[in-house]
Amino acid sequence: MVYVSKNHLEDEGFTHGFRATRLYNQMLIQSRLSLYRKIFVCYDLLMLKKSKTNFKEIPIQKERSHHYCLKSFLITSAIMILVIVVLGALYWQYTKFPPLSGKIEKTYSWNYKEVPYTLSETLYKSTAEYYGKKRKGIYSSFEESSISKYFNYPDQDKTIPEVANKIDETAKVGKLNSDQTVELVLGYIQSLPYDEIRAKTDLTHPRYPYETLYEGTGICSDKTLLTVAILKELGYGTAVFMYENDQHMTPAVQCPVEYSNYNSGYCIAETTAIGHKIGIVPGFDPKSLQAVSRVEAPTFENQTKNQSAPIILSTPEIYGKTAGTIYQGVVQTIANEKEIAEISTYLGLQKTKIDASEAELNRLKNELNQYDAQDNIKKYNSLVPTYNNLVAMVKLQIAEYNQKVNRYNYLIKQ
């Protein structure tokens, strides 16, 4: 027998000692307690034994308490193990890769260097739903791990490698070089429609690459992750540019450091609008959260007024850097971009000159009409050569303008 003294009620072990002996004596009388209460009885008994109290008056049968607590411990452990097994089975059932069902055939079409391309892929609704259940989101301070999980595919899903292989085969058939293959991939992703509805409702949970293929649309983050996934499969070095201040994301491909964006060793590859070149930071529309498409310049006759300028993207954070094949095409792109900038400056100046010449033509025309109405043939005839010379000069100015436009439009398609 083990005894606890009355003085024990006055020291700090009072709670455990008093409650343990009271509940244990109740157990002896009733021979039954809930498992929940049994656990606390054993806990209090343990605390009682650890105390430095002199045991004298309150009886506890030591051997029986050991057997009783061991039995309670084993039952509790068995229940906990059973709960863990059941929860694990439910989690496995929920997250395991499902049997393929809901088959659909997807065909994607786009142009690269004015040549049409198509890609077909068999996809499954069950697989899209599987990825839809997976955890999503890119979390602050955990960006690297948050992004990397998007490129971990189960062994049963070979879709991204298949798509990459098909693009690679298409590039070989078209005799495209390594740089052009990257551009072919970018053209494909740019052709997928931008999901304006999701852009307004869910910017923080990018889809997995398979989901973007299945849906055939995406916001900047969706298209970024799909681009990176394909380029990684093709062996190119990649990264993710995250413009947190602008709520924008773009893929980037490894390129020569001296030609890279932000001196990072990677070149931006904008996906949200058609026509953007690798290495060129686009203008950005903060309302639609899309890059502003670089469209063909209109001829002088088709000019429109009040064309607004987009904002410039802020400096991004760069995540998920991987090394691989380096994209060299940016060297020519930068050279083309300089010529495009020169032509743009020329077009602006030339338009100002043409506008001034046309204003002068209108003035001379009004003066001729006035002389004609007055039957002032002498002044009329003297002014006609001046008017005709100016007409010829304006036609020449417009022809030169349109020639530059054609060159500009050729360069932005390269």
The residues, any chain, with a CB within 8 Å of residue 276's CB and separated by 6 or more, are: 190, 269, 270, 282, 291, 293, 294
CA-CA distance, 271 to 12, in Å (whole number)? 69
pLDDT single digits (tens) 304-328: 554 445 678 899 999 999 999 999 9
Q: Residue 142: what pLDDT?
A: 74
CA distances from 169 to 70, 162, 396 (A): 67, 10, 48
For the whole prediction, is pTM greater than 0.85?
Answer: no
pLDDT reading at 28 higher than 80? no
The pLDDT confidence band at residue 45, using thresholds 50, 70 and 90, is low
Query: What is the rounded CA–CA span in Å between residue 48 and residue 222?
Result: 60
Dihedral sign (CA 259, 190, 181, 175): negative
Do the strands 248-254 and 238-243 form a parallel or antiparallel pair, or are they unpaired? antiparallel
Between helix 159-173 and helix 220-233 the angle, nearest 10°, is 70
Estimate the share of the chain in helix, then strand, then coil, as percent rounded to the nearest 5. 55, 15, 30
* In contact, 368 and 360? CB cutoff 8 Å: no
Percentage of residues of the chain with pLDDT beyond 90: 54
Average pLDDT, stretch 66-93?
A: 69
pLDDT at site 411: 85
Given a contact cutoff of 8 angstroms between Cβ atoms, the answer to whether 125 and 101 are in contact is yes
In the prediction, which pLDDT does 296 show? 56
Give the SS3 label for residue 356: helix
Q: For CA atoms 244, 249, 254, 257, give the dihedral sign.
A: negative
Strand partners, 112: 115
**Per-residue model confidence as pLDDT tens digits over 120-165:** 999 999 999 999 999 888 777 778 888 999 999 999 999 999 999 9
**CB-count burial class (<10 Å; 0-12, 13-18, 19+) for 242:** buried
Listed residue (315, 18, 235, 414) closest to 26, CA to CA: 18
How far lies 163's CA from each of 100, 155, 372, in Å? 18, 16, 73
Residue 268 has pLDDT above 70, yes or no: yes
Higher pLDDT: 16 or 207? It is 207
Q: Identify the pLDDT of residue 76.
A: 73
Extended beta strands in 236-388, E state: 238-243, 248-254, 266-268, 283-285, 290-291, 311-312, 317-319
What is the pLDDT confidence band of residue 85, given thresholds at 50, 70 and 90? confident
Q: Is 139 left (phi over 0), alpha (psi -120 to 50) or beta?
A: beta
Give the model confidence (pLDDT) of 346-381 as tens digits: 999 999 999 999 999 999 999 999 988 998 999 999
| pLDDT tens by residue, 323-346 | 999 999 999 999 998 898 899 899
Q: Identify whether the C-beta of residue 22 lies closer than 8 Å to the C-beta of residue 44.
A: no
Q: What are the structure tokens assigned to 216, written together?
A: 């055939």
Amino acid at 239: A
Q: What one-character DSSP code corresponds to residue 309?
A: P
Q: Rounded distance, CA 16 to CA 29, Å?
A: 20
3-class SS of residue 114: coil
Residue bearing tokens 């995540």: 319
Which pLDDT tens digit goes with each residue over 193-241?
Answer: 999 888 888 777 899 999 999 999 999 999 999 999 999 999 999 999 9
3-state secondary structure of 402: helix
Q: Is the pLDDT reported for residue 27 higher than 70?
A: no
Closest Cα partner for 248 from 299, 304, 288, 305? 288
